[in-house]
Amino acid sequence: MKTLQDQVVWITGASSGIGQALAVFCAAQGAQVILSARREDELKKVLQSLVQPERHDYVLMDVTNEVQVLAAHQTVLQKKGRIDWLINNAGVSQRALISETSMQTERKIMEVDYFGQVFLTKTVLPTLLAQGYGKIVFISSVAGLVGTQYRATYAAAKAAIHMWANSLRAEVADQGIAVSVIFPGFVHTNVSLNALNGAGNPQAQQDSAIEQGLDANSFAKRAISAVLARQDYIVIGGMKEKLGVALSRVAPQLLYKMIRKVKVK
């Protein structure tokens, strides 16, 4: 599968940011895109921004609501008859110290960033197995590879989905299903505006690192191109992020010392 032409691509968290950028790029490459998120007005705007919007559709869904996920899956099959790609992008970030983060907030982040993606994937998996083909993509984070201050639960959830995806890949590799995990570094989106503080509320301010991050459309092009090239482990970011990932493999102790000295909020 070297092209997206006429591929049915279901993207979660598609109402803004990385999800929106992925949708725009996939549509431009000829895919039939299904957008999912909680905000219908925003999904309608994204839909109308796509090339040939009549080829695409949206399905409202909260990934933490299992009833909605099951219904959305059936709706997608009714509309398109199949699912070629599932891109698990829905997520929420964090900006709070561990000592400030309530257990309710800890669980909320895990529900969105880990359990939501797991349940949706388990829901779609039988369809892909029956087809005998398909791609499952998870949007993790460089934070899930290195861990930093103010993002403990977010990093844990992103690391968890990475390991879960690795196991899934091993289990379905000989059944025509490809599994890729993408690790974004800083990408210029509204992720930090929506990141949760310790009480579980959006922090409502933009981080300077995110403000100076990679353009979301450039990220989308690199991400989809890498998946089409059958890459499983995809790190996309600047030199600092790539250095951090490299050090996490070869010199983790040095990385931990560096992280302690860096202001990352």
| Rounded Cα distance, 9 and 85, in Å | 5
Sign, CA torsion 175/67/201/49 = positive
142 neighbors 235 (Cβ within 8 angstroms): yes
Helices (H), the chain: 17-28, 40-49, 66-80, 103-110, 116-131, 143-146, 152-172, 191-194, 208-211, 216-228, 239-250, 252-261
CB proximity list for 90: less than 8 A, separation 6 or greater: 12, 13, 19, 36, 37, 63, 112, 116, 117
Backbone phi and psi for residue 87, each to the nearest 5 degrees, phi listed first: -110, 105
How wide is the angle at C-alpha 229 spanned by C-alphas 225 and 230, nearest 5°? 120
Which pairs with CB-CB distance under 8 Å and at least 24 residues apart come from 73-81?
A: 73/120, 73/123, 73/124, 73/127, 76/8, 76/10, 76/34, 77/127, 79/34, 80/8, 80/32, 80/34, 81/8
Q: Structure tokens of 199?
A: 């009480």
154 is catalytic: yes
Which one of the listed residues 58, 114, 150, 154 is annotated catalytic? 154
How many Å from the N-terminal Cα to the C-terminal Cα in the chain?
40
The residues that are catalytic are 154
